[in-house]
Amino acid sequence: MCAATVAGVDSSTQSCKVVICDAATGEILHQAHAPHPDGTEVAPQAWWDALCTAGAGLLEHVDAIAVAGQQHGLVALDAEGRPVRDALLWNDVRSAAAADELIAELGGPQAWADAVGSVPLAAFTVTKLRWLADHEPDLADRTARIMLPHDYLTWRLRGGPSVEPTTDRGDASGTGYWSPADCDYRKDLLALGFRGRTPELPRVLAPSEAAGRTPSGVLVAAGTGDNAGAALGLGIGDGDVVVSLGTSGTVFARAAAPSADATGAVAGFADATGAFLPLVCTLNAARVLGYAADLLGVELAALESLAAQAPPGAEGLVLLPYLSGERTPNLPHATGSLHGLRPETMRPSHFARAAFEGMLCNMAEALDHLRARGTGVRRVLLIGGAARSPLVAEIAAQIFGVPVTVPQPIEYVALGAARQAAWALSGAAQPPTWPARTAAEVPVPSEPAIGRRIRAEYQRAQGDLYGRSGAGIATPAPRRRRRRRGHE
């Protein structure tokens, strides 16, 4: 008898990744990927096309499949199951003003934290519904169903319009209208966000519950959001905090009880196992290094070599890396800025070092928010594209002040989805135990004062630019955008 195999899909912002694993051992047997279009709004069909391309010749032969997808994205469908417009992605900040309106309308941040464990920001689905209702009311009127990206792909795998849409508690917890504490939709908040409209929502499945089968008979598991998928793929435990350095950055940990942070910094999400996943997100992570390399006209490997030539702290040169606005701190209209320019710091090596340190100081600020909410930090697991750099791990241990574990460079979101598929296939009470995959362990440096000094310089630059108070960092006014011919 052949061993059972499972497929895990990571439908991320940039691409679709597929891994095929042995269901019992987690051994990765095959991998494939296909790109997604750029932009902050994308036709859902493009995700399906990428999944079909990446999964061609692979998905037909597995026993079970699960999809983990980018969180928050708004997929609005009409009564026939057709998208009424391109999906608005998590990183589309046009709904920032809608978030402010919704917070005020419910009675403030604490009311939202009590209701759904999170205070909505521009990323959340409920704010995108408000934007759609106010700016495209005809399309809002046509909207009969709301899905998230992973819901849409799971639905398409099972046959599309003729089947009931499903989701899971991990992804549902990022909408702003589902309560992790009560494990139920808040349709009053859905109606608040969508100006009285209450379209159909997917049924929320239990973590190991199957959504159904593909037309060819492959079991389809519940699926989940990308961060919950990564947590499942890593098998995190108590004291483990994951710092993911993709295009955006996330910091999250597993918790036994739901959280409700009225500051809005910590999102009170659910995970893919029945527990909870307090999470802090930044808009800027690995992209900071990519843009720094472009500015200097070098490859990423050369950027790392340059950064290694500068001393820790880059002699006071500080990059605030808010290149695409920022979510934490909540600065949707901010831009990046460089501080501490002097003759001795105006060097490519110092700028390169400031890019690495700025990215990681921003993630350290996010980590501090989790600590402030009671999360114990025994070690940091560093994942994502930028985690493959040895210098990133070295600086991370210095700035975070805790040991850093760098798992092998594997697609952990897709691996977590595969593990969930194996769980649903087995019918067991707990997910299968798959081995940890560690590539490097970086201890806390012997001179912790260096990391503290880097953080202090970074926070001083924040204060100089935005001002700091007990309420956080003030949000600058939006800048007027220039019209560019051919792009409007």
Q: Measured between alpha carbons, how far is 302 from 318 in angstroms, rounded to an integer?
A: 20
Stretch 441-467: mean pLDDT: 93
Task: Indicate if the pLDDT at residue 196 is higher than 80.
Answer: yes
* Closest C-alpha among 285, 276, 229, 302 to residue 71: 229
Binned at pLDDT 50, 70 and 90, residue 50 comes out as: very high
3-state SS, one letter per residue, for 247-291 = CCEEEEECECCCCCCCCCCCEEEECCCCCEEEEEEECCCHHHHHH
Stretch 470-474: mean pLDDT: 40
Q: What share of the chain is helix, strand, coil (3-state, %, to 5)?
A: 40, 25, 40
Catalytic residue among 10, 168, 226, 261: 226
Q: Residue 1 has what pLDDT?
A: 61
Which residues, including other chains, have CB under 8 Å from residue 48's CB and lie 6 or more apart?
A: 152, 153, 156
Q: Measured between alpha carbons, how far is 98 from 101 in angstroms, rounded to an integer?
A: 5
Q: Residue 485 has what pLDDT?
A: 30
Measured distance between the N- and C-terminal CA atoms of the chain, rounded to whole angstroms: 59
Q: At what angle do helices 448-466 and 348-372 cross, to 10 degrees?
A: 90
Q: Measured between alpha carbons, how far is 439 from 285 in angstroms, rounded to an integer?
A: 21
pLDDT digits (tens, 9 = 90+) for 275-318: 999 999 998 999 999 999 999 999 999 999 999 999 999 999 99
**Three-state SS for 468?**
strand
Paired strand residues for 178: 185
The encoded tokens of residue 83 equal 């998208």
Task: Name the region of 340 (left: φ>0; alpha: ψ -120 to 50; beta: rest).
Answer: left
Q: Within a 13 Å sphere around the CA of 79, how many CA atoms are in the beta-carbon half?
A: 2
User: CA 290 from chain center: how many Å?
Assistant: 18
Q: How many other CB atoms are found less than 10 A from the CB of residue 454?
A: 25
Binned at pLDDT 50, 70 and 90, residue 468 comes out as: low
Q: Measured between alpha carbons, how far is 101 from 107 in angstroms, rounded to an integer?
A: 10
Q: Among all chains, which residue has been given the structure tokens 């590539």? A: 439
Q: Residue 394 has what pLDDT?
A: 97
Q: Measured between alpha carbons, how far is 267 from 287 in angstroms, rounded to an integer?
A: 22
Cis peptide before 329 (omega within 30 of 0): yes
Paired strand residues for 240: 379
pLDDT digits (tens, 9 = 90+) for 360-389: 999 999 999 999 999 999 999 999 989 999
The string over 366-393, giving b where at least 16 C-beta atoms fall within 10 Å of a residue's C-beta and e elsewhere, is bbbbbeebebebebbbbbbbbbbbebbb
Whole-number average pLDDT of the chain? 93
This prediction has a pTM of 0.89
Task: Indicate if the pLDDT at residue 473 is higher than 50.
Answer: no
Q: Residue 2 has what pLDDT?
A: 80
Task: Name the region of 144 (left: φ>0; alpha: ψ -120 to 50; beta: rest).
Answer: alpha
Q: Residue 471 has what pLDDT?
A: 36
Contact indicator for 111, 166 with CB cutoff of 8 Å = no
**Three-state SS for 76?**
strand
Percentage of the chain lying above the pLDDT 90 cut: 88
Q: Measured between alpha carbons, how far is 411 from 471 in angstroms, rounded to an integer?
A: 37
Stretch 456-467: mean pLDDT: 91
* Closest C-alpha among 233, 238, 278, 285 to residue 259: 278
**Three-state SS for 93?**
helix
pLDDT digits (tens, 9 = 90+) for 107-162: 999 999 999 999 999 999 999 999 999 999 999 999 999 999 999 999 999 999 99
Q: Residue 246 has what pLDDT?
A: 87
Q: Measured between alpha carbons, how far is 66 from 6 in angstroms, rounded to an integer?
A: 8
Q: Residue 398 has what pLDDT?
A: 97
pLDDT digits (tens, 9 = 90+) for 51-82: 999 999 999 999 999 999 999 999 999 999 99
Which residues, including other chains, have CB under 8 Å from residue 377's CB and lie 6 or more apart?
A: 239, 241, 253, 367, 370, 371, 400, 402
464 in active site: no
Binned at pLDDT 50, 70 and 90, residue 324 comes out as: confident
Task: Indicate if the pLDDT at residue 343 is higher than 70.
Answer: yes
Q: Residue 467 has what pLDDT?
A: 74
